[in-house]
Every structure is written in structure tokens, then in C-alpha cells.
Amino acid sequence: MSTAASLPEWFRCRRLVEFRDTDAAGIAHFSAFFFWMESAEHAFLRHLGLHVVDHAPEDADDLLAELAPVGTNKPHEPLEVSWPRVSVSADYRAAVRFGEEVEVAVGVVEVGASSVTYAFRFERQGLLVATGKVVAVRCLMRRGQKPLPVRIPPGVVSRLRNHLVPAAAAEAS
């Protein structure tokens, strides 16, 4: 494995290439990598003690105070914060096949006021097979309305920054 991928900031999980992940030739279909990125992101958030859909965010009081003057959140409406994706991409370098194991590494490239940019590395037996990138925005989810971007609280920013990796490391082979 390359030095860049061995840095402790990367969160790692493994995926088995299942039959449903493959095309007619038994090679992982390009779309499977997007599902694997989402699954790895969710595992990473759980690792940080966060929820993909959070009904009790740690900054709930701040959110309610901020939203009250503009009437954005009704008093009877429960808070729901989530992380919709606004950009996703993947680059492929080698094939993986049905039955093979893929290691998925997740790192944080950038943390903005309300967004986080993740880098993904997919390796099979130490060989880089693909890289990916996801930008997610922390949003207040409101029934019947478009998601409203909200600040990432300092405690979450700190946990995310513990996994910062250089952007170049995400692309290195």
C-alpha cells in the first residue's frame, strides 16, 4: 500500500464485490463505487458518533434560536439534520471482480462552514483501483421545502478535521 493511504487519518472499511455489483462480465459496475462511497461515508459518520439523519443534533438549541426569528422551523416540527450530496465523482484505474475484497479509505479533504469534502480510495490487495470525491452539505431537512444549509457545529468540525488528508494524497497511486 502506498504511504499516502497508510496515514492514520484515513478511515477504512472493507467491501466484498457482490454479484449485484457487477456487469455481465463479472467486473464491478461503475455505479457500485458510488454505493460503496455512500456506505463508507455512513460508517465514517457513525465512527465519529454522528448520525446520517439526526433528530437530536448537538447544536439543536442554536439551530432553533437561529430559525425562530424567521419562522423557518415551526415549534411542533421536530428538527431533522442530514448531509445531502451536492457533488460526486469517481476515477477508475483497474477492474475489480465478483468475489474480490475492496478496501475503501475515507479521508476529509476540506471542511467548510456547512460543507465537507471527502476523498475516497479503493484498493484491492494494495493496488489502487479507483478514487472518488463527495461533497456533502449539512442541512436542515423540512417537509415540503428544499434543504436549508446550516453551519457544522465546532465539535463536529473538530472530529472531521481529525481525518484531514492532503488533496494530493487522495489522488496518489
Contact 72, 140 (CB under 8 A): yes
CATH number assigned to the domain comprising residue 9: 3.10.129.10
pTM: 0.87
- Identify the pLDDT of residue 49: 94
- Identify the pLDDT of residue 71: 54
Query: 48-83: per-residue pLDDT in tens?
Result: 999 999 999 999 988 888 776 655 555 556 789 999
Query: Stretch 143-169: mean pLDDT, rounded?
Result: 91
Query: Stretch 41-46: mean pLDDT, rounded?
Result: 96
Amino acid at position 101, single letter: E
- Identify the pLDDT of residue 7: 47
Give the SS3 label for residue 33. Answer: helix
Burial class from Cβ neighbours inside 10 Å (0-12, 13-18, 19+) for residue 31 reads: exposed
CB burial string 144-162: b at 16+ within 10 A, e below: eeebbbbebbeebeebbee
For the beta sheet containing 85-92, the strands, ordered from the edge strand earlier in sequence to the opposite edge, are 11-16, 101-111, 115-124, 127-137, 85-92
How many domains are contained in the chain? 1
Query: 149-158: per-residue pLDDT in tens?
Result: 999 999 999 9
Give the distance, in angstroms, between the CA of residue 150 and the centroid of all CA atoms in the same chain: 17
- Identify the pLDDT of residue 1: 39
| Phi then psi dihedrals of residue 105, to 5 deg | -110, 135
Tell me which residue range forms the domain holding 83: 4-70+77-171
Q: Among candidates 113, 106, 110, 159, which has minimal Cα distance to 139?
A: 113
Contact 36, 15 (CB under 8 A): yes
Per the DSSP assignment, residues forming a β-bridge with 106 are 11, 120
9 pLDDT tier (thresholds 50, 70, 90): confident
Contact 153, 62 (CB under 8 A): yes
